[in-house]
Amino acid sequence: MDNKAKKKKSEIKSNTRSGGVSRESQLGNATIVKAEALKFVDPVAVSDSNVQTLLFCWCVSGSGIVEANGESYEFSRGNLLFLPWGHDITYKPDELRPFYIKVLHVVPSHNPKVELKNEVGSASNPDLLDTSDRKSVDHPMLRTPTLIEDIDDANLSVLFNYALGVFKRETPPLPVARQMSRLFLYEFFSLKMTIPTEEEDNVPRRLQFLIDYIKDNLSEDISLTDIAAYSELSQATINRLFREHLGTSTMNFIHQKKIERAKHLLLVTDLPVSDIGPHIGINDVYYFSRFFKKMTSYSPTEFRRL
C-alpha cells in the first residue's frame, strides 16, 4: 500500500453536522462503564473470560500478544483492538518491553430504569453476568474483532485520554458516560470505514489511485467519464482493472461505497434521512430512498432501526 493509502487509514473525516450514535438506533443508550490504564511491569500473562462488554484496547507503548477467542494479535504502539460482547482475552506482555495499554469497556444497551453499575461483567465478576439490565446488540460494526493500526494521531486517542481523565477523577454521571460513548463509537465507526478491504489492500498502485479518488469524492455524482479524465486512463482500462482485481464493474464499486457511507451515517448519526443523500451525491431524497432500497432491500428508515 502506498503512503497516501496508509495515511488515509489514520485520518478521520467527519462530514456530518452532528456526531454521536443516532437516538433511533440500537446504540442509543450505549454507555462507557469503565476506563482504565494498564501498565505491565513484568511479562506475566493476565486473562479473563466471558467479558460482557464491548472492549476497546489501545497500546500506548511497548508490545506483546493479545489472545482473544482463539486468535492471536501482535500488539504494539498505536494499535487498537476491538473485541465484541462475550469475549475471552489474555494479555501476554513482551519480556523486554511489556506493553502499556488503555482500555474502555462499553455496555451497548441497558435498561434505563435500572441503575447501571460502573463495573465489567465477566468470569472474574460473575455477579454481573447475564443480568437483565444490560445486554449486547446485533450491530454490523460490532460483530467481529477488529485490529486497527496507528491511531495515535486519530481522534480516538484524544477520546481515550479524555475518558480516562474523567473516570480517574470520579465516576461520571450517566449522561456524561453515555455521551462519551456516542462520540467514541462514532469515531471508531468512522475510522473502521476507512480501512481497505483485503481485496483493496492488494491491488496494483494505479487501481489504488482510482479507489482513493472514488472514496474522496463520494459526495459527488461520479461517472466513469470523470474517473477517466482524472486518471488519463481509458474507460475500458478502468473497467478491466476493477473486474480483474475486485471482480466488479467500476460503477457497481462506486455504488457499493456510496451505500457503505450512507449506512454509516444512518447508524452513527442523528442526521435526518433527507440530509444523508447529499453526502453520497444524491440531492433528491426520493431518489436516494429508492437507490438505497434497491441496493439493500431496506428503506433508509427501516435500516436505521434494524
> 200-222: per-residue pLDDT in tens?
778 898 999 999 999 889 999 99
Number of residues that this document lists for the chain? 306
SS3 31: strand
| Across 56-70, 141-155, 245-259, least confident range | 141-155
Gap between the Cα atoms of 55 and 255, Å rounded:
32
| 51 pLDDT more than 60 | yes
To the question of pTM greater than 0.85 for the whole model, the response is no
Predicted local distance difference test score (pLDDT) of residue 150: 86
Residue pointed to by grid coordinates 460473575: 126
Give all domains of the chain, ordered by start, each with its CATH number: 28-184 (2.60.120.10), 200-304 (1.10.10.60)
- Higher pLDDT, residue 92 or 6: 92
Predicted local distance difference test score (pLDDT) of residue 129: 93
> Which distant-in-sequence residues (6+ apart) come within 8 Å of 276 by Cβ?
262, 265, 266, 288, 300
Tens of pLDDT, residue by residue over 195-204, are 777 777 788 9
Gap between the Cα atoms of 64 and 60, Å rounded:
12
Gap between the Cα atoms of 210 and 227, Å rounded:
7
Gap between the Cα atoms of 119 and 115, Å rounded:
12
Sorting pLDDT into bands at 50, 70 and 90, what band is 154? confident
SS3 204: coil
Sorting pLDDT into bands at 50, 70 and 90, what band is 26? low
Q: Give phi and psi for 280, each to the nearest 5.
A: -120, 25
Gap between the Cα atoms of 181 and 185, Å rounded:
6
Task: Report the DSSP beta bridge partners of residue 83.
Answer: 55
